[in-house]
Structure 1
């Protein structure tokens, strides 16, 4: 299992399966999915991300994100759309700060 995650800016932090599950849960809730669908999405999508992380000692957040979005698109497209919308808003805020 991955012990470390490399963030976009190069910062290294401990890998957290709970953080991955929370991110998926939050975006599924933001997409107004039912509790059952949220639970299903968290289970299926996090399983794929954790399987990928199990093969490495260090993993980039970009790699995890790509896997999560790919699986989320298959399992709950509305949640994937909510994630992409969140990313767009976040990128816009970053550009304004520069």
Structure 2
């Protein structure tokens, strides 16, 4: 993390450990493609704006600004890791 570059990450102490926290802006199913594309473009610009990125880092977070395809891959990867854990614990979204 850029805020604490000399602090080792937990995976260095606990081999194989990996956990992330992330936030995403999502729209409703069927959102028109031009609207989705415009939102993607705007959110990437916001996340990569130096002043905004600095404020996000002050909150101990690392701004990324991913594309929809990159977000979809993140969700798939996180589901592969945490989906079985949630199912084993009977976690539901309702």
Output the TM-score relative to the length of structure 1: 0.30
Larger fraction in strand: 1
Structure number with greater Rg is 2
Output the TM-score relative to the length of structure 2: 0.31
